[in-house]
Amino acid sequence: MKKTRNIMVQGTMSNAGKSVLCAALCRIFKQDGYKVAPFKSQNMALNSYITKDGLELSRAQVMQAEAAGIEPDIRMNPILLKPSSDTGSQVIIHGEVRGQMAAADYYEFKKGLMPAVRESYDALAEDYDIIVIEGAGSPAEINLRENDLVNMGLAEELDAPVLLAGDIDRGGVFAQLYGTAALLTESERARLEGFVINKFRGDVDILRPGLKQLEDLSGIPVLGVVPYMTLDIDDEDSLSPRLERKEADVKPLEVAVIRLPRLSNFTDLTPLESHPLIGVRYVDTAGDLKDPDLIILPGTKSTIADLIWMRESGLEAAILKRHASGTPVLGICGGYQMMGGELRDPEGTEGIIPEARGMGILPTSTVFTSAKTRTRVHAKTEALPFSGCEIDGYEIHMGKTTVNGSPFCRITERAGTEAADGSTGKEAPAGIVPHLDMDGCGTDHAWGTYLHGLFDSGEVTERLAAYLCERKGIPYESAAPVSRLEYVQHQYDILADGVRAALPMDKIYAIMDKYMR
């Protein structure tokens, strides 16, 4: 008998809502008194996170861990693929970079990865009562069935029951569900315990004739219809509909975020999007930049390539024009690197371009190396108007930046050790590059930092809102800063309430119990 109960959520397609449904189940099981953890064997995303021990995993599993009320753990996501081109990705196993691989090369490489997946899962199972497993893409990708370690192949390996989620908001949900089930093998279909229709708007009674016909045709029950919920929790990847928005919400302050082709860690901007005074829009053409109150250059997987894209598209010139007229510019990670005077890549870490001229906004220069910095950080800001704010964040980047100006912040703790007098206090964990105790650069209306999560505590966000209001000459009204973690915990409770009302949890528990025998 298995020691730990498990359940797997697969989807008819990417972005069918698997990640959020898994988060909801994690929250529900936690509310019911169980120790629960999320698990996804392989995730492909540019949004990643650094654990306390300096290892890298997907933000989706971080979000699910938050819902479960536990610390993010590398065991939750043993394989992470970070796309670097249309045909290749950086491959990260157990939080450590294994290198760049073309799609065909990885297809061969992954044949030997099930033991790594099993190792992570078994280690989690020793510590938790329930594991909520998330699939990837669709199990109906039958060209990938051989050596599958993310969908039905994983379900069979772990002896997990499967729920199949379909996104009705995109249309064609009955075809999605029926067609996916029809393409499964007989043994795979036997493991499919129920359909879940996700993101429904309207009267469920209108759906009922279709639900019955789907059950009759497939022989698989429809367990529930989950309503479309407006929630403020991290999205899984850049398929997020919010990145399609061109216009800001109607709010007093307008922030333009440059939508880089290889944009990563856009969840850094989530606290700004939920602020009552700040409207955020994503810009990918010079004509759309217009006249915002702040321009943000976010993180990117390929700094030099995206800088060249901005240059060729005319966006760089438009940003420099706005900045010269007084518009503040903030760069995060790769965006910070772009803002300097020079970028050099002597080892070809980023590609085939050995060096490039930066935007010249900040007095910095960056040299890329194959070493990857991955560390958790506590810092205190020094640059105006943010001076004195506390930041709990993390660094995740390639390259070292030399600063010939004032720092953005002072690091007070790095990877769990004191960083006084430029020292880490003890030897850094494997894979972490030690740095001095300063980060980033700041001028009177331009700032750059390597720190992801700088807005999460609320202090920097409120200081930024007050600064932009003062520049614009409008009154600043703000509640006391609220921790992002405190705020998002309430969002997970709302999510759990909505899903609990839609799904028969007694049947979910019974399904898991059946697979314990």
Distance CA 397, CA 301 (A): 9
Indicate which residue of 22, 397, 452, 469 is catalytic. Answer: 452
22 is catalytic: no
Q: How far is CA 161 from CA 119, 140, 192, 512, in A?
A: 20, 17, 6, 7
* Single-letter amino acid code for the residue at 377: V
452 is catalytic: yes
Helix (H) or strand (E) holding 470: helix 459-472
Distance CA 25, CA 75 (A): 19
| Cα-Cα-Cα-Cα dihedral sign, residues 462, 463, 466, 472 | negative
The β-bridge relationship of strands 446-449 and 441-442 is antiparallel
Question: CB burial class (10 A; 0-12, 13-18, 19+) of residue 187?
Answer: exposed
**Planar angle of CA 429, 430, 433, nearest 5 degrees:** 80
Distance CA 354, CA 76 (A): 37
- The residues with which 414 forms a beta bridge, in sequence order, are 377, 417
CA–centroid distance for 484 within its chain:
15
Asked whether the beta carbons of 443 and 405 are under 8 A apart, the reply is: yes
Tokens matching residue 109: 């490489």
* Single-letter amino acid code for the residue at 391: I
Alpha helices for 325-409 (secondary structure H): 334-338
Distance CA 46, CA 36 (A): 26
Distance CA 357, CA 305 (A): 12
Distance CA 232, CA 270 (A): 8
By three-state DSSP, how is residue 341 classified? coil
**Cis peptide bond prior to 276, omega within 30° of 0:** no
Tokens matching residue 248: 């800001």
Indicate which residue of 333, 389, 409, 469 is catalytic. Answer: 333
Distance CA 384, CA 387 (A): 5
Placement of tokens 């939508």 in the chain: 259
Tell me, letter by letter, the H, E, C secondary structure of 175-187: HHHHHHHHCCCHH
Distance CA 456, CA 454 (A): 6
Distance CA 492, CA 494 (A): 5
By three-state DSSP, how is residue 472 classified? helix
Would you please indicate which residues are annotated as catalytic (active-site) residues? Answer: 333, 452
